[in-house]
Amino acid sequence: MNVRGTLIALGVSCFLLSLIPQLSFLLYFSAFFYWVVLALSLNRLNQRNRFQVLFLLSAGVSCTAFAFVVGELTLINIAVLVKANLGITSMLVGVSFLSLLPHPQQDKRNLLGVKGAVSTWGSVHLLGAVINLSSVFLVGDRLQRSHPLSDAQLGIIVRALTCAGFWSPFFASMAIAFSVAPNASYSDLVSIGVPVSITAFLFSMWELKHTNRVDSFIGFPISLSSLLFPVFLASAVLVIHYQILKDMPILSIVTFVCPLSVLGLLLIQGGKHAAQRKVRDHISFRLPNMINEVSLFISAGFMSASVSLLVGYLLGDSWSLFDSFGFWAAFSCYIAICIISLIGLHPIVGISLMSALVPFEEVNNTLLALVCISAWGVGTAIGPLSGINLSVAGKYELDNIKLSRLNIRYGVFMSAVVAVAMYAVVLLSEMQ
């Protein structure tokens, strides 16, 4: 097996075992394995991610060194630094096992016009809410069989995926939100995120009609049976979170439900040997390709924890960038993170800085979490160097700058929608 893939598998395994109270010490083994992956992978990261990882590590080391000078570092401080973002990283690894699911059944005929656009959006959005980027390639590969992907098709598949981050528990955006704001209510976020996603869909359909591209739109057909397993998976996560393991963070539940559910399905469909082969291949080939994500999230967590440590020493643990975290503070953070995305940095960089400067203890956690999922949902659509735009551009030999420009008007509109959502959260919190 591949060394990096094995280390990543060991990292997520130790994290899951550490959820058992008697085995909580394994969390540090999980951190060790992920940090070894980062160290072994620096020379193998793509240029964009290597720059960001080195920037984050340099900032983290500088803040830690300064904190050592002005304060007194303890083993507890060091432990906090090295295990930051383990939950997010492990969830990404756990969710990656969903790529082992068989491809959904497809109708042989393409759908045209409004039906095609709606079906394409629904396919990418609902499947992508569980299997993430794989849904884009599944749909994109089918659509480009007869002709190159049009601007309308590209805009739909990118937006349909990214706006799933407003509500899906299987998205990195939701994991980050609960890492930054652990006291946020998932049900509250879903009640906000679903209407925001529906609004994104309605705007995109209006834009197609307004630009006279809806009648010529060639869409992707999918059978409802293909959605059964994603619906089962989402239901299982919610039942476990609200009825069985109420005190366990939802991202931890997602981390173990995904691989266990997929393993169960593989055993039922193909038997023990076929399941073993697929899992072994996943560890050998798929997990090593996650070195960019693992390195980015581990280094971002380290930087955020280091900045928080230094700020705590210099200004006190209760210091915050804002006197009160209301609408204007939240929306300012959202805009700042989106600007960071536009200039080419990953949204996690801006979110990590925000989490270091806005402690969650004294603020509305649902509002803070909404900043995270909104900045991710919009920032990844408009960012020329976001993971989805780079992946789509590389897969279909396109210009990633062009992909970004296709979504600029969408980004402006969605920012107004996000502002309304944030204002509503503030009003509701004041009424309670």
Terminal CA-CA length for the chain: 54
Average pLDDT of 22-27?
A: 94
- Report the pLDDT value the prediction gives residue 104, as an integer from 0 to 100: 62
**Average pLDDT of every residue of the chain:** 90
Distances (CA, A) of 2 to 34, 37, 90, 96, 341: 15, 12, 18, 16, 33
Q: Which pLDDT score is estimated for 105?
A: 60
Residues of the chain above pLDDT 70, percent: 99
The pLDDT, as a whole number, for residue 306 is 93
With a cut of 90, say whether residue 251 has pLDDT above it.
no
386 closest CA partner among 418, 344, 332: 344
pLDDT category of residue 200 using cuts at 50, 70 and 90: very high
Buried b (16+ CB within 10 A) or exposed e, 184-211: bebebbbebbebbbebbbebbbebbeee
pLDDT greater than 70 at residue 150: yes
Q: What is the pLDDT of residue 429?
A: 86
Asked whether the predicted pLDDT for residue 144 surpasses 90, the reply is no
* pLDDT band of 221, cuts 50, 70, 90: confident
**In the chain, what percentage of residues exceed pLDDT 90?**
55
Tell me the residue type at 336: A
DSSP of 298-346: HHHHHHHHHHHHHHHHHH-TT--SSSS--HHHHHHHHHHHHHHHHTT--
- The predicted structure's pLDDT at residue 101: 77
Question: What is residue 314's predicted lDDT score, i.e. its pLDDT?
Answer: 86
Region 220-235: what's the mean pLDDT? 80
Q: What is the pLDDT of residues 357-415, one digit of tens each?
A: 998 988 999 999 999 999 999 999 999 888 888 888 877 888 888 899 999 999 999 99
Tokens of 385: 């160097």
Taking the complete model, does pTM exceed 0.85, yes or no?
yes
CA distances from 4 to 1, 42, 82, 96, 290 (A): 9, 12, 19, 15, 9
Q: Which residue has the tokens 């656009």?
A: 117
230 has a pLDDT exceeding 90: no
Compute the distance between CA of residue 320 and CA of residue 359 in angstroms, rounded to an integer.
6
Q: Please tell me whether residue 210 adopts helix, strand or coil conformation.
A: helix
- Joined together, the tokens standing for residue 10 give 């060991």
* Cα gap 167→169, rounded to integer Å: 6
For residues 73 and 268, the model is more confident at 268
pLDDT of residue 222: 74
Rounded Cα gap, residues 60 and 301, in angstroms = 9
Tokens of 400: 């990633």
- In this prediction, residue 108 has a pLDDT band, given cuts at 50, 70 and 90, of low
Instruction: Give yes or no for residue 223 having a pLDDT over 80.
Output: no
Does position 34 have pLDDT exceeding 90, yes or no?
yes
> In whole angstroms, how far apart are CA 134 and each of 103, 231, 376?
10, 17, 18
User: pLDDT tens-digit profile of 82-102?
Assistant: 998 898 899 889 988 888 877
Write the pLDDT tens digit of every residue in 285-310. Answer: 989 989 988 999 999 999 999 998 89
What's the rounded mean pLDDT across residues 175-179? 92
Burial class for 371, CB neighbours closer than 10 Å (0-12, 13-18, 19+): buried
Give mean pLDDT, residues 198-208.
Answer: 97
The mean pLDDT of 146-158, rounded to a whole number, is 91
pLDDT (tens digit per residue) in 352-370: 999 999 989 889 999 999 9
Separation of alpha carbons 353 and 304, rounded Å: 6
The Cα 302–Cα 79 span in angstroms is 10
What would the two tokens of residue 165 be?
A: 């981050």
| Predicted local confidence at residue 377, as pLDDT | 95
